[in-house]
């Protein structure tokens, strides 16, 4: 019942910035948590950042201080602002919606490559 579409991925140089967007097909106001995950080649999918409906945020230690997650309920969109990007940030980034009383929903992912 919730479709998620990520955008904003691409190739960026080390030290650069990128903003990812996750557009939901319906209101995200009542969704408990929205989050971003990433998966690097040969690695497990890991939580990058999440934000709850109350505005609480959690970040992976490797991105804390560099990435910022936010949500715009009026636009049904969650964002991930990524600054000071490093090659190890490379991977496929997935948007996740975690509603209460329903299965999680995942987007198709967007590729982020940090390389010179």
Residue 30 has what pLDDT? 84
Report the alpha-carbon distance of residue 9 to residue 18 in Å, rounded: 7
Report the alpha-carbon distance of residue 24 to residue 88 in Å, rounded: 28
pLDDT tens, 34-90?
999 999 989 999 999 999 999 999 999 999 999 999 999 999 999 999 999 999 999
Residue 28 has what pLDDT? 86
On the question of pLDDT at 1 being above 80, the answer is no
Our CA dihedral for 50, 48, 111, 23, rounded to 10 degrees, sits at: 0
pLDDT tens, 84-111?
999 999 999 999 999 988 899 999 999 9
Helices of type H across the chain? none
- 94: which 2 tokens? 């997935």
């Amino acid at each position: 019942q919730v479709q998620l579409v990520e955008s904003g991925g691409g190739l960026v140089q080390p030290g650069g910035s990128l903003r990812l967007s996750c557009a939901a097909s319906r209101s995200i106001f009542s969704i408990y948590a929205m989050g971003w995950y990433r998966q690097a080649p040969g690695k497990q999918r890991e939580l990058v950042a999440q934000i709850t409906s109350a505005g609480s945020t959690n970040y992976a230690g490797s991105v804390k201080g560099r990435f910022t997650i936010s949500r715009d309920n009026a636009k049904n969109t969650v964002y991930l602002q990524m600054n000071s990007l490093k090659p190890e940030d490379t991977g496929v980034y997935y948007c996740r919606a975690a509603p209460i009383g329903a299965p999680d929903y995942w987007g198709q992912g967007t590729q982020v490559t940090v390389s010179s």
